[in-house]
Amino acid sequence: VIPYYGYSRQDKKTLAREPISARLVADMIKVAGADRILTMDLHAGQIQGFFSGPVDHLTAVPLLASYISRHFQGDLVIVSPDAGRVKMAKKYADYLGVPIAILHKRRPGHNEAEVLHVVGEVRGMTAVLVDDMIDTAGTLAASSQALMEAGAAEVYACATHGIFSGPAKERVDASPLKRVVVTNTLPIPEERLSHKVEVISIASIFANTIASVFKDESVSELFGGNNQP
């Protein structure tokens, strides 16, 4: 059971002679004797192919979408922080019955992000940024600022994995974000948490999935067949 799959962003080579660490982790897990994997919201779906045995992919989207509908007010718009997260953003939008917007960005350096355009209508709306993980919060801070400049009334963020490394806490504190919601797929030290961050539990999702596995029942039915990355 691997709630957060480490090295998931290293699923392919981006530089010469760079390792594909996500594959190495999969090989080590296999050598250790695991014959079935349960994990949640992989950064890249192709990681499932790194394993020779079955991989049950879980998602926190229904849980977080339910939180959004209960706690965030106003005309909602789901915002993808880049083109790569559009599929995830669409899942949120479909659950909630709201429109989506997309941010076009470029990366001037490692763990840096510059938003160039907001594609879609956000003026006067409650914008909710969604992503699979928050690491240094560079993208999050730049995106929230761009949305406010585009006329959004309020900006929130939801992500499955809260890593909050490096300057993440300071960036979240200084950003116009009203609240950031993550799950407890990995432990977050108290000193890394901004007062804006709320952590919700995914324990029931894993408990129900493990029960389905032991009963030889369908895991995908727990998510309405909508659990693939």
Q: Enumerate the active-site residues.
A: 105
Quote the CA–CA distance of 25 and 48 in Å, as a whole number: 12
What is the identity of the amino acid at 220?
S
User: Strand, coil or helix: what is 156?
Assistant: strand
Buried-state track 149-186, b at ≥16 Cβ within 10 A, e below 16: ebebbbbbbbbbbbbbeeebbebbeebebebbbbbebe
Cα–Cα nearest to 183, from 6, 63, 93, 88: 63
